[in-house]
Structure 1
C-alpha cells in the first residue's frame, strides 16, 4: 500500500460522503412506507455494529491491509482467493453506483446522450483522482464537504418555507407493527448504505491517530443515518407514500416541488450537484479499495498503474450490468442484497473476527 497519511477529520468526511453517496438518490427503504425513516435508523444501528467488527479486526492487525490479515487468518491460498473476491465485489459495487449516476443524469438533463458517454466522463475524473492517491482524495473531500452541507441546509430551509411538508403523511407510525420495518432493515438498510462501510478497512491503516478511528467512524455513520432518515421523512411528507415508492428519484421530485415567494423554484441543479459529488466519492473509494487490494495481493509497487485498466473494467460493467434502470434496481434488490451483501458485509467479517479472537486470545486484545 502507498505511504500516505490522512487525518481523522478527513476520514470523517470520506465516510459521510460515502454513506450519503447514492443513498440520497434512490427511494431508500420505501417498502417500509411511512416508516422508511425508522427502517433507516434501525439499519444505522446495525451498521454501527458492523463498523465495530471491522474496527476490531483492524486493532488486531493495525499494520496489515485486509488482504494480508485474511491470508494470515485463513492461510495463503484461501486468504488470497477471499481477498480477490472482495476486490471483484468492490469493483462490481462501484459499477452499480456509477450506473445510478448515469441513469440520474439521463433522466434529469441528457435524454438523448448515450449512457456510456455520461458514465465515461465521470469515470475519467475518478481515474485521475484515484491515481493521485488517497491523500489527494481526502483533501478533495474536505473542499466539497462544506459545500454539500450548505446545499443540504439551504434545501431543507426552502422546503420548510414552501410549506410542502405534510406530517400527516408520516402517520400512523408502525401501523402494521415492527415486523415490516424489521424485514426492510435486514434485507436493505443494514447493508445499503451502512454495511458498505467495510470498504474503509482498506483505509484505516492510513489514519494518523488510529486510537480515535472507532469514535470518528461511528459518529460519521450516525450523522449520515440521521441525515438520510430526515431526507426520507421529508420525501414522504412532501410526496406521500405512494408517489415516493413509485418515483425513481424521490428527492429530485421533492426539490422540483419547491416554490417560495412565487419566484424561487426549479432548484433541480442543487440536487444534481450534490448527487454528482457524493457519487464521485463513493465510486472513488470503492475503486481505490479495489486497486489497493490488488496491489497488495500481486505485490505491485506502483498501484497508480492499475487505475486505467481497472477503471475501464468498472465503466464497461456499469453499462452492461443491466439493459434498463428497472432491471438494474431489480438486480440490486433481489440479487445483491440477498446474496452478496450478507456474505461480504456480515458473514465473512464475523468469521474473520472470530478466528482473530481465538488466535489472539492469549495476547494483547486492544481496547473495545
Structure 2
C-alpha cells in the first residue's frame, strides 16, 4: 500500500464525484419512463446494501487491501486469482468510462478529431494524477467538488428561470405499477452507478479514521443518488419521456434548451465541464485501484512502474471496446451488468463475507 492517508471529507467527495461520473451522460433508467427517478431510488437502496457488504469485509481487515484479504479468506491461490480478476475488472471499467468521455466529445464538439487523440489527452492527465498518489487525488477532488456544485446550482437556477420545467411530464406516477420500476433497478441502476462503488474497497484502507467509513460512504451514496434523481426528473420535466428516450445525452439537450432574455443560451459548457469532472474522477479511481491491486499481487516494489504500461492498455482497450457509441451504451446497460457487474459487485463479496462469517463461527465454537 501507498504510505498515505485521506480524511473522511475527502473520501466523501471522491465517492460522490465517482457516483455522478458518467451516470450524468446517459438517460439513466429511462426504461421506467416517468418513474425513472424511482428506479434510481431503488438502485440506491440496494447500492447501500452492496456498500455494507464490502464495508463488513473492510472492518474485518481494516489495514489490508482486498487483494490481500481475499488470500486470507479463501486461500493463497484462489484469493490471488480472484484479486487478479478484480484488477482486470477495474481496468476494463476504466476503459469503458474513457470511451464514454471520448464519444461524448466527438459527438458534441470535436467531430473530425480521432477518438484515439481525445482519449489520449485524458489518460495522460489521469496517469499523472495517479502517479502523484491518493492524497493528490483527494485534494484534486475537493477542488473539483466546489466547481461541480457551482455549475449544478447555476444550471438549475437557469433552467427554472427559463420556465422550461413542466411537472405534468412527470405524471402519472406508478402508472404500470412497481414491477417495471424494480425490473429497471435490478437490471441497471443497482449496478451502474451504485454497485460500482465496490472499487472503494481499495480506497477504504487509506482512511485515517476507519470508524467513519460506514457513515461517510452511506451519506455520499445518498447525496449522489438524490442528485441523479433530480437530474432525471428535470430532464423528463423539460423534455418529456419520448424526447428523453431519443436523446443520446438528455442532460445536454436540457441545458441547450435554456434561453433567457434572447442572449443567454447554448450553455453546452456547463454540461461538458460537469461531465469531464465526474468522468475524470471515475476513471482515476478505477485506474488507481487496478494499479495498486496488481502491484500487491505481483509484489512490485515501486508500484509507479505499472502506471504507464497499464495506462496504455486502458487507452488501447477504450478504442477497441465497441465499434460505435450506440453499441457501447447497449453493451454497458444490457450485457455487462449480468456478465461482469453481478458477480463482481454482489456474488463474490457475498461469498467472501459468508466464508468470513463461517470462520468466525467455527473459531468461537472452538
What's the TM-score bracket when you normalise by the shorter of the two chains?
Answer: over 0.9
Deviations along 1:107-150, one digit per CA (max 9) or x if unpaired, are 11100000000000000000010011111100100111111001
Q: How far apart are the structure 2 equivalents of 1:316 and 1:20?
A: 25
Q: Which residue of 1 aligns with 2:236?
A: 236
Q: Which residue of 2 aligns with 1:308?
A: 308
- Structure 1 residue 322 displacement after superposition: 0.5
Alignment of 1:272-351 (within 5 A): 272-351=272-351
3-state SS of 2:24 partner: coil
- Structure 1 residue 362 displacement after superposition: 6.5
Q: Which residue of 2 aligns with 1:165?
A: 165
Q: How far apart are the structure 2 equivalents of 1:215 and 1:356?
A: 22
Given that 2:187 and 2:334 are in contact with CA atoms closer than 8 Å, whether structure 1 keeps it comes out as: no
3-state SS of 1:361 partner: helix
Deviations along 1:171-199, one digit per CA (max 9) or x if unpaired, are 00011000000000000000100000000
Q: How far apart are the structure 2 equivalents of 1:362 and 1:320?
A: 48
Given that 1:132 and 1:304 are in contact with CA atoms closer than 8 Å, whether structure 2 keeps it comes out as: no
Q: How far apart are the structure 1 equivalents of 2:82 and 2:304?
A: 23
Q: How far apart are the structure 2 equivalents of 1:133 and 1:224?
A: 24
Q: Which residue of 1 aligns with 2:79?
A: 79
Q: Which residue of 2 aligns with 1:18?
A: 18
Q: How far apart are the structure 2 equivalents of 1:132 and 1:360?
A: 39
Q: Which residue of 1 aligns with 2:221?
A: 221
Q: Which residue of 1 aligns with 2:175?
A: 175
Deviations along 1:304-344, one digit per CA (max 9) or x if unpaired, are 11110000000100000011111111211222112211110
Given that 2:18 and 2:278 are in contact with CA atoms closer than 8 Å, whether structure 1 keeps it comes out as: yes
Q: How far apart are the structure 2 equivalents of 1:356 and 1:255?
A: 49
3-state SS of 1:172 partner: coil
Given that 1:127 and 1:308 are in contact with CA atoms closer than 8 Å, whether structure 2 keeps it comes out as: yes
Q: How far apart are the structure 1 equivalents of 2:362 and 2:164?
A: 60
Q: How far apart are the structure 1 equivalents of 2:4 and 2:299?
A: 17
- Structure 1 residue 363 displacement after superposition: 6.7
Question: Unaligned regions of 5+ residues in structure 2, if any?
Answer: none
Given that 1:54 and 1:349 are in contact with CA atoms closer than 8 Å, whether structure 2 keeps it comes out as: yes
Q: How far apart are the structure 2 equivalents of 1:16 and 1:316?
A: 28
**Backbone CA RMSD of aligned residues:** 1.0
Question: Unaligned regions of 5+ residues in structure 1, if any?
Answer: none
Q: Which residue of 1 aligns with 2:65?
A: 65
Range with bigger deviation, 302-311 or 325-334: 325-334
Deviations along 1:232-269, one digit per CA (max 9) or x if unpaired, are 00001111101111111100000000011222111100
Q: TM-score, normalised by structure 2?
A: 0.98
Q: Which residue of 1 aligns with 2:141?
A: 141
3-state SS of 2:22 partner: coil
Q: Which residue of 2 aligns with 1:132?
A: 132
Q: Which residue of 2 aligns with 1:186?
A: 186
Q: Alignment length, in residue pairs?
A: 364
Q: How far apart are the structure 2 equivalents of 1:360 and 1:138?
A: 35
3-state SS of 1:70 partner: helix
3-state SS of 2:3 partner: coil
Q: How far apart are the structure 1 equivalents of 2:266 and 2:193?
A: 28
Q: How far apart are the structure 2 equivalents of 1:330 and 1:158?
A: 32
Q: How far apart are the structure 1 equivalents of 2:363 and 2:53?
A: 19
Q: How far apart are the structure 2 equivalents of 1:363 and 1:283?
A: 41
Q: TM-score, normalised by structure 1?
A: 0.98
Q: Which residue of 2 aligns with 1:28?
A: 28
